[in-house]
Amino acid sequence: MTESNRRWLFERLLCHAVIVRFMRQIKQLGKGLKETMLWPLISERPDVAPVIFPRESIGVLTPECILERIRWPTMTDFADDDDDDDDDDECSVTEKSRITGYLRRFIENASSDELKALMKFWVGWETPTTILSLEVIDCTLPKSSTCFEPAHYKDFSTFKEDLIACFQTDTGFGLV
């Protein structure tokens, strides 16, 4: 391989990575917009574009907005869990109640930026989904697979510290 061949290959790979690969995605996006009739709508009425494609940055999250969407564990959920004694991830009703209380307290007192970071950690997007499922199990740190799981916390400050640390990592949702 000569220096000129190496340079040519580098330029071709760079062109593909920067331009060609994204052009295909843009064409597919345009095709989808036309097939769903969104493109003609946006072309004729540009004022609807912000309604159809809202920006994350303009959304204001309030604690009430999040709290009303959470599917909190109920006493029947706790009772069902008591029947499954073979599950290693289970914790007591007291622990589950304490952790759900910590989460509610965190949400009620969090800033808008912290709430957005929590949603990005929880569902992968800064806007909450229609239903936010919550499951409390025994584990080391909060986990996100569209569930919320830490049960070992004994005080709110440690819970809050670990939760913020989880969604401020540089490898979380939207940051990879």
pLDDT-based confidence at 139, cuts 50/70/90? confident
Q: What is the pLDDT of residue 173?
A: 46
pLDDT-based confidence at 132, cuts 50/70/90? confident
Whether 117 has a pLDDT exceeding 70, the answer reads yes
Q: What is the pLDDT of residue 53?
A: 79
Residue 146 zone, left/alpha/beta (φ > 0; ψ -120 to 50; rest)? left
| Cα-to-chain-centroid distance, residue 123 | 3
Burial class of residue 156 (count of CB atoms within 10 Å of its CB; 0-12, 13-18, 19+): middle
pLDDT-based confidence at 149, cuts 50/70/90? very low
Whether 61 has a pLDDT exceeding 90, the answer reads no
Whether 151 has a pLDDT exceeding 60, the answer reads no
pLDDT digits (tens, 9 = 90+) for 13-55: 998 888 888 888 889 989 999 999 999 999 999 998 888 877 7
